[in-house]
Structure 1
Amino acid sequence: MVWPFPPKYRKQIARIEITGAIASETRKTVLKALKEVEEKKFPALLLRIDSPGGTVGDSQEIYEALKRLQKKVKIVASFGNISASGGVYISMGAQHIVSNPGTITGSIGVILRGNNLERLLDKVGVSFKVIKSGPYKDILSFDRELTQAEEGILQDLIDISYGQFVQTIADARGLDVATVKTFADGRIFSGEQAKELGTVDRLGTEEDARVWAAELAGLDPEKAECNTIEEPKSFINRVLNRGQGRSAFGNTLNWVEFELSTAGQPLWLFRP
């Protein structure tokens, strides 16, 4: 019999790393990697998360893909330095979660920010003439304050998104919605506290998570290797992410790009 992929993958653990702010490029990369895990029939997946969260829709799509993959693959999430907000949401797509005791996690909630430059524009003598089809078409415009009605509309949007977040955690972790709401108020907490609250299963390292994933898949932890799935980096990305860590310049560019591209969007994001 000819296998579409070498049988070696059936005795390996796939590893996918999610780092930095979650946005559209993260979603595309992770969904592609998850498809590869399924096609190559890896029996287990180690999902390493080191992220403050990000956009709502992209986080939801990654979570849904993980939920589908659960039917075929054992998934263990491992928290790094930080797994907050959207990072927590994504982890709910894993059957099991391991966190370092000192991991920064939590920040369960939604944030939406806009910029009001009205007074600055007045000082420099700049104004805008807006023609719109409805009273709320320019909601969150940077050249004026929000009206009370607009604040109500945005608060309703935030409340719905928050409800989705809380319900997902409650379903994934077997908790009551009321219980989740007692700590889902935007606060951050440590991995040790997260275990007490029930949002993670065990305290440990990425290696501990790998061993657990191997055991769940019926593999020998001593022999089962991790196969990290990632896209080849372009030359410019290799420069900005040289060595084992991301350069300060690369980090700054990524955050500026993220801030500009997500302005005015509801975010599941921890903003220190």
Structure 2
Amino acid sequence: MCEKNARIIREKFVVSRKVKYTILIIGAILIFILFFGRVLINPEAIGDKVAIIEILGVINDSEEIIKHIHHHRNNTSVKAIVLRIDSPGGGVAPVQEIYSELKKLKSKPIFASMGSTAASGGYYIACAAQEIFANPGTLTGSIGAVMQFMKMKVLYEKIGIEYQTIKSGEYKDIGASQRNMTPAERNLIQKTVNDVRSQFIQAIIEGRSDRLTRNQIEAFADGRIFTGKQASEKMLIDRLGNLQDTIAHAAQVVGIKGEPKITRIEQKPTFLEKILNLTSNINQKILPSTSFRYELNFPTQ
């Protein structure tokens, strides 16, 4: 009887040990999957990488792009950043905010790749890069600033709308659509636009003073556009090439051997964001603009 009890105890002990070992093994597997599963699923999750930050369309907001900049800044496996710019520009403030954050990123080299259009604010941002690539047919340049007001005085008179304005100062309703702008108001706006243009020129000087003089930049800063080929001849960009050329060059500069691994944060706007963007674009076309913009505009006939 004692021997039987001893055997039962030994069997229970063996079973108990097996259960413990099984739990330990399962736990180890779960930890392995938790920490290394991403690498098993995606081998490109390890190793030195080139990050791509996309700047697409009209630049009305800087928040998402700045989040991407900070994400790649904090990723130690990212050794270089390529800006893929396909934008006619946008609002002065968001353009300057993106440029400023890129200039703070001193630990990783930045390269710019221009798509079909990288003009005005798009070119402004590109100047934060140490080298700029463009396709021969890329539209770029458009250095300057613009502020537009819609004049609807005649229309209001035809439909019988009359404004009565009480204001605290001479310039408080500057740009009002129901009346003509006075010479003093036009002069004030022109001075302000010129100041914003000067800020654009200063950004180019900061990024390309080793290639362009202030006088050369001033000569181009009248809003004219250039093809990528023309921009290359005038030293507004550094090399002719596409996105793949830019990535390969960035990898070579930072010493990545072979084909570089690429990382990017996918930008998938929600349905609501698409509606809001569409509404914003429509408003820009039909409503008076009351903000300064670094933007290339193609007039519609």
What range is the shorter-chain TM-score in? 0.7 to 0.9
1:9-88 correspondence runs (5 A): 11-24=48-61, 27-41=62-76, 42-69=78-105, 71-88=106-123
Q: Distance in 2 between matches of 1:230 and 1:257?
A: 27
Unmatched runs of 5 consecutive residues or more in structure 1: 241-248
CA shift, 1:170, in A, is 2.1
Q: Distance in 1 between matches of 2:154 and 2:288?
A: 23
Query: In the alignment, what sits opposite 2:290?
Result: 264
- Name the amino acid aligned to 2:96: Q
* 1:158-197 superposed Cα distances (whole Å, 9 cap, x missing partner): 1101111112112311221111111121111100111111
Aligned residue for 1:114, secondary structure, equals coil
Quick one: which of 219, 223, 233 aligns to 1:182? 219
Query: In the alignment, what sits opposite 2:138?
Result: 103
CA contact (8 A) 1:81 1:103 kept: yes
Task: With a CA cutoff of 8 Å and minimum separation of 6, indicate the structure with the bigger relative contact order.
Answer: 1
TM-aligned CA distance change 1:119 to 1:235, over 3 Å: closer
Residues 1:155 and 2:194 aligned together: no
Aligned residue-pair number: 255
Larger radius of gyration: 2
- Name the amino acid aligned to 2:289: A
Query: In the alignment, what sits opposite 1:204?
Result: 241
TM-score in terms of structure 1 length: 0.87
Q: Distance in 2 between matches of 1:211 and 1:231?
A: 23
CA shift, 1:229, in A, is 1.6
CA contact (8 A) 2:80 2:108 kept: yes
Aligned residue for 2:167, secondary structure, equals coil
Aligned residue for 2:85, secondary structure, equals strand
TM-aligned CA distance change 1:40 to 1:30, over 3 Å: same
Structure 1, 72-81 or 9-18: larger mean CA deviation: 9-18
Unmatched runs of 5 consecutive residues or more in structure 2: 1-34
Aligned residue for 1:78, secondary structure, equals strand
Aligned residue for 1:271, secondary structure, equals coil
CA shift, 1:230, in A, is 3.4
CA shift, 1:115, in A, is 0.7
TM-aligned CA distance change 1:165 to 1:219, over 3 Å: same
CA contact (8 A) 1:23 1:258 kept: no
Q: Distance in 2 between matches of 1:128 and 1:188?
A: 40
Q: Distance in 2 between matches of 1:40 and 1:100?
A: 29
Runs of 4+ aligned residues of structure 1 deviating over 6 Å after TM superposition are: none
- Name the amino acid aligned to 2:161: V
CA contact (8 A) 1:48 1:78 kept: yes
| RMSD after superposition | 2.3
CA shift, 1:31, in A, is 0.4
Identity of aligned residues (%): 36
CA contact (8 A) 1:16 1:230 kept: no
Query: In the alignment, what sits opposite 2:150?
Result: 115
Aligned residue for 2:220, secondary structure, equals coil
TM-score in terms of structure 2 length: 0.79
CA shift, 1:233, in A, is 2.9
CA shift, 1:62, in A, is 0.4
- Name the amino acid aligned to 1:77: A
Report which of the two has the higher share of helix: 2
CA shift, 1:227, in A, is 1.0
* 1:85-120 superposed Cα distances (whole Å, 9 cap, x missing partner): 000000011111100011001111111100111111
TM-aligned CA distance change 1:251 to 1:192, over 3 Å: farther
Residues 1:92 and 2:127 aligned together: yes
